Structure 1
Amino acid sequence: MKTIHRMEDIPKFKSQVEEARFWDTHQLAPELWAEGQRGDPGLDKALEGLVSVKVVSPRTKGKPRTTKRAG
């Protein structure tokens, strides 16, 4: 499997099939993978040290959802 070390080495694909064939024989280098994992620096700083996040979609109809607290 060929390792991609520069984003410039990833071609522009004409179809999903062409892209799938490319990635069947190529992989990103660890440093490129890590670079792609970085997001917005402000958000990264705000989330620093956070262990987990639960994302709940807002309800659009009906009463707001409530939760009962144990205890």
Structure 2
Amino acid sequence: MEKEIVSTGHPHWNVLRIQLDEELRIQRCNGSLDITERILISLPNVDVGATLDFLIENEGRCDCEILHLMYAINDSCY
């Protein structure tokens, strides 16, 4: 099975958003993608590198920026 990029509309999109939100409530963003990467690694069938590239290309350069991006995208869908 080919690994997939987690982007809007992907079944893991909201899982990533919720888990990242929970993690960032516990620990502060340190300016890296460490938390996002750890969550992506834990999800089945995910192309971690390509997903991180997608998020970076959309202005998510660290964990808190990715979370902000994910909420902005979700809010624009409603």
TM-score bracket for this pair, using the shorter chain length: under 0.3
Structure number with greater Rg is 1
TM-score scaled to structure 2, two decimals? 0.23
Q: Of the two structures, which has the highest relative contact order with CA contacts closer than 8 Å and spacing of 6 or more? A: 2
Q: Which one has a larger percent strand, Structure 1 or Structure 2?
A: 1
Q: Which one has a larger percent helix, Structure 1 or Structure 2?
A: 2
